[in-house]
Amino acid sequence: MPKISHRGEVMPPSPIRKLVPFAEAAKKKGIKVYHLNIGQPDIETPKLVLDAVRHFDFKVLEYSHSAGNESYRRKLVKYYKKCGIDIDYKQIIITTGGSEAILFGFMSCLDAGDEVIIPEPFYANYNGFAVAADVVVKPITSSINTGFALPPIEEFEKAITPKTKAIVVCNPNNPTGYLYSKEEMETLKQIVLKHDLYLFADEAYREFCYEGTHTSAMHLTGVEKNVVLMDTISKRYSACGGRIGAFVTRNKELLDAAMKFAQARLSPPSFAQIAGEAAVDLPDNYFDATKEEYKKRRDLLVKRLNAIEGVFCPNPGGAFYAMAKLPIDDSDKFCQWLLESFSYKGETIMLAPATGFYGTPGLGKDEVRLAYVLNTDAIDKAMDCLAAALKQYPGKTN
């Protein structure tokens, strides 16, 4: 029997999705499962966006330009301008989700064996993209005790080797919800200039900042050739299934390299480009109500978590995630136990074990990520489940 590739063997499974079979089994037993494990917003996709697709008239569903529809890219220039980012439409490549933008960045900027530094915990799929591109992730650890603030510059310096080519920052952060300050972004600027590195900026949650303002990597001056913005409409407009993102850089040489990868996959999805283009026309106050709703959910979740004995959850400044430290022996076992062996009033909760968000083995065993993508009533009931579960869990620690 032929062997699968080494790449296929080491490709990590999703820590967010690997518990799905256990959740499905729990539901078959009649148990209600509160899904706080995945960042799938329950906010309705704007009607204007869906109507643009429903009413679009065409005779042939044809390829778009490999960089995406010019009309959409020109619209995005207007969107970014509102965010204080001045770019040209030719500096944008539309991608199949933010995922493809990240992969294009890794493939265009790093060779096999090169290293990318990422503050951990980090979005688990960065590991998968690194495996696909045959590059090495060098994690530097941020701590729940500081709310997952950017690690000191000395930690970056210690991690840099001759093979280091890039740093990845997700702002606001998934999975921690941490919002990096202007000062922290300036620190990253110093590092990339000193060592001539790329700065990959994943800004999928730009609109969801609850305290302070968002500082984009594209706002930094003097690093125009170093910065690569990876973006997506998935969370912004509650359009995860559209699979539309963007690769943005002012570095023409890099853009030309990424364009060759874009040409190899022909074009991004047509219907979702129509949706994305329409979304730019949403009123400026569109996010106000959404942000207010998420802030209410965050405040409730953090309050309820910190009221449970032995639990600690820092207050996240953005996105719609929180990381919590629990009095448990092993978050993977605990999250599976919640689905396999526990229920409270016929209900249970699905969480994401934090181990999958760390690159350093052994970290995250007493932490979980929670996505506050459910309404406040559901969050309250989910926290009732968690409080009851921690009293019963056989692997509880003190």
Beta strands 245-249 and 227-232: pairing type?
antiparallel
**pLDDT surpassing 80 at residue 16:** no
- DSSP-derived secondary structure letter, 165: E
**Which whole number is the average pLDDT over 89-107?**
97
My answer on whether omega of the bond before 121 falls inside 30° of 0, hence cis, is yes
Over the stretch 360-378, which tens digit does the pLDDT of each residue have? 999 999 999 999 999 999 9
- The domains found in the chain, sorted by start residue, are 6-44+287-392 (3.90.1150.10), 60-279 (3.40.640.10)
**pLDDT surpassing 90 at residue 396:** no
This prediction has a pTM of 0.95
pLDDT value at residue 329: 96
pLDDT value at residue 13: 81
Q: Please state, in angstroms and rounded to a whole number, the distance separating the CA atoms of residues 41 and 294.
A: 10
Task: Rounding to the nearest 10 degrees, give the CA dihedral for residues 204, 57, 52, 95.
Answer: 0
Contact (Cβ atoms closer than 8 angstroms) between residue 115 and residue 161: yes
What mean pLDDT is reported for the chain?
96
- In which band, very low, low, confident or very high, does the pLDDT at 218 lie, cut at 50, 70 and 90? very high
Q: Please state, in angstroms and rounded to a whole number, the distance separating the CA atoms of residues 117 and 305.
A: 31
Contact (Cβ atoms closer than 8 angstroms) between residue 116 and residue 110: yes
pLDDT value at residue 14: 80
Contact (Cβ atoms closer than 8 angstroms) between residue 217 and residue 169: yes
Q: Please state, in angstroms and rounded to a whole number, the distance separating the CA atoms of residues 65 and 284.
A: 29
**Which whole number is the average pLDDT over 191-207?**
98
**Which whole number is the average pLDDT over 283-310?**
96
**Which whole number is the average pLDDT over 56-71?**
95
pLDDT value at residue 244: 97
**Which whole number is the average pLDDT over 164-191?**
98
**Which whole number is the average pLDDT over 43-47?**
94
- In which band, very low, low, confident or very high, does the pLDDT at 230 lie, cut at 50, 70 and 90? very high
pLDDT value at residue 324: 98
Beta strands 92-95 and 198-202: pairing type?
unpaired
Write the DSSP assignment of 272-322 as a string of letters. HHHHHHHHTTS-TTHHHHHHHHHHHHHHHHHHHHHHSTT-B-----BTTEE
Q: Please state, in angstroms and rounded to a whole number, the distance separating the CA atoms of residues 5 and 18.
A: 21
To which residue do tokens 């209600």 refer?
Answer: 32
- In which band, very low, low, confident or very high, does the pLDDT at 110 lie, cut at 50, 70 and 90? very high
- Inter-residue long-range contacts of 45-51, CB under 8 Å, 24+ positions, other chains counted: 45/237, 45/238, 45/239, 46/237, 46/238, 46/279, 46/282, 46/286, 48/278, 48/279, 48/281, 48/282, 49/237, 49/239, 49/275, 49/278, 49/279, 49/282, 50/275, 51/278
**pLDDT surpassing 90 at residue 212:** no
**Which whole number is the average pLDDT over 124-146?**
96
Distances (CA, A) of 27 to 23, 24, 230, 380: 6, 5, 36, 20
**pLDDT surpassing 90 at residue 395:** no
Helix/strand/coil for 330:
coil
Half-sphere exposure of 92 toward its Cβ, with a 13 Å CA cutoff? 27
- In which band, very low, low, confident or very high, does the pLDDT at 183 lie, cut at 50, 70 and 90? very high
**Residue 37: what are its φ and ψ, rounded to 5°?**
-95, -15
pLDDT value at residue 12: 87
pLDDT value at residue 4: 93
Q: Please state, in angstroms and rounded to a whole number, the distance separating the CA atoms of residues 170 and 142.
A: 13
CA 49 to chain centroid, in Å, comes to 22
**Which whole number is the average pLDDT over 267-295?**
96
